Amino acid sequence: MTKGNFPVDKLKGIETPFYYYDMELLKKTLKIVKEETKKYGFIQHYAIKANANKRILELIASEGFGADCVSGNEVKAAVNAGFPASKIVFAGVGKTDKEINLALDLNIFCFNVESLPELEVINELAGKKGKLAQVAIRINPNVDAHTHEYITTGLNENKFGFGLEHLENVVEVLKSLKHIKLMGAHFHIGSQIEDISVFEPLCKKVNELQDFFEAQDIKLEHINMGGGLGIDYEDPDKNPIPDFADYFALFHKNLKLRDGQIVHFELGRSIVCQSGTLVTRTTYVKRGETKTFVILDAGMTDLIRPALYQAYHKVENISSDLPLAKYDVVGPICESSDVFVKDYSLNETRRGDILILRSAGAYGEIMASQYNCRELPKAYYSDKI
């Protein structure tokens, strides 16, 4: 028996909760990204923070992608999964000396630098090793991504990058740093951006900044536009793969590139999200005074996005074809915020039914915790189940 893309009979025998990855969908997604970036000579670095499952990383690395890392351990994970150091970029506002030294020793492609103190520390540490650190300065363009306040990154109020008003000072400081090579500029305005037109003002701002750098006699070899492309959480079956064609075409149309400049991207969620599903069982159906609760064996420790971002994930009962009923779908964690969705229509649900939470391939398994001393969820794969 199957229901949708899920082999229900095979899943029945596995202890829940666990993550299930559709590897064929992931391969199709990677193929499309490669085709669309190849049209324009763009380079894609997969954002590891979306999902660092080793098998997922190994597949993405084998397809020739680079890696976008935001910690020293992500850099290690990238290298261990087969990403060449020459395709690794390292961002983040709080890189420690230990992390910087690791990246220097590995000779990664580029540090995406977010502050003057960080720039000075990288210069100092590179000097001690007799190395020249390649950097791109992350610029906060003050462009509103129109997304959730917790995942917007390109406004003046956010902690990321250099403000526009500080760039002249940055340029002056760079001239004095002998162990730094400025490779380019880095931008990232937020995540889960559904209206791609917001990237047009970003392109306009980048074009203006190109003029500024040229006036300072600085040629930027690389422009890193970050990521942020959203996915369809409401209807993952209708839109299993985002519109990468329009996304990359927008940048090709609106960026005014200089001869020889290379454009980089750092997509994460849009690549892996739809391939992942959280699989869970109904422990109890509890009938309260005004509501009926479906209590799952998965909770916010396994998928924190609904509790943290008030995020929506489509929930399906793959064990039931009974008529629809209204439920609050909740987890077992001792927190009132451990709720996946309220007043939700599901096929009538009984103890032991298998439920799935869709579009969980990004910021799902990677953010799982052991709060309440729970075990971390395991992962299974469509081609090995």
> Which segments of the chain are extended strands (E)?
18-21, 43-47, 66-69, 88-90, 110-113, 133-140, 162-163, 180-186, 222-224, 262-265, 276-287, 292-296, 315-317, 324-330, 339-347, 354-357, 378-381
Quote the tokens at residue 289.
Answer: 């005074």
Tokens, residue 243: 């519109």
Residue 158 above 80 pLDDT? Answer: no
Helix (H, G, I), strand (E, B), or coil: what is residue 363?
coil
Span between the terminal Cα atoms of the chain, in Å: 14
Q: Give whole-number Cα distances, 282 to 233, 287, 353, 354, in Å.
A: 22, 14, 5, 6
**pLDDT tens, residue by residue, 59-114:** 999 999 999 999 999 999 999 999 999 999 999 999 999 999 999 999 999 999 99
Residue 121 has pLDDT above 80, yes or no: yes
* Residue among 197, 93, 203, 195 nearest 147 (CA): 195
Picking from 93, 110, 91, the residue whose alpha carbon sits closest to that of residue 184 is: 110
Q: Are 343 and 282 in contact (CB under 8 A)?
A: no
pTM comes to: 0.93
DSSP-assigned letter for residue 130: T
Q: For residue 163, what pLDDT is reported?
A: 86
CATH topology of domain 23-272: TIM Barrel (3.20.20)
User: What gap in Å lies between CA 198 and CA 209, rounded to an integer?
Assistant: 18
Q: Which amino acid, one-letter code, is at 34?
A: K
Question: Of 42, 40, 29, 34, which is closest to residue 224 (Cα–Cα)?
Answer: 42
The average confidence (pLDDT) of the chain is 93
What average pLDDT score do residues 16-37 get? 98
Burial letters 58-90, b for 16+ CB under 10 A, else e = ebbbeeebbbbbbbbebbebbbebebbeebbbb
pLDDT of residue 164: 86
pLDDT at 3: 61
Q: Does domain 8-18+274-381 fall into CATH 2.40.37.10?
A: yes
How far is Cα of residue 358 from the mean position of the Cα atoms in its chain? Answer: 16
Phi–psi pair at 69, nearest 5 degrees:
-120, 150
Please report, for the chain, the start and end positions of each structural domain, with discontinuous segments joined by +.
Answer: 8-18+274-381, 23-272
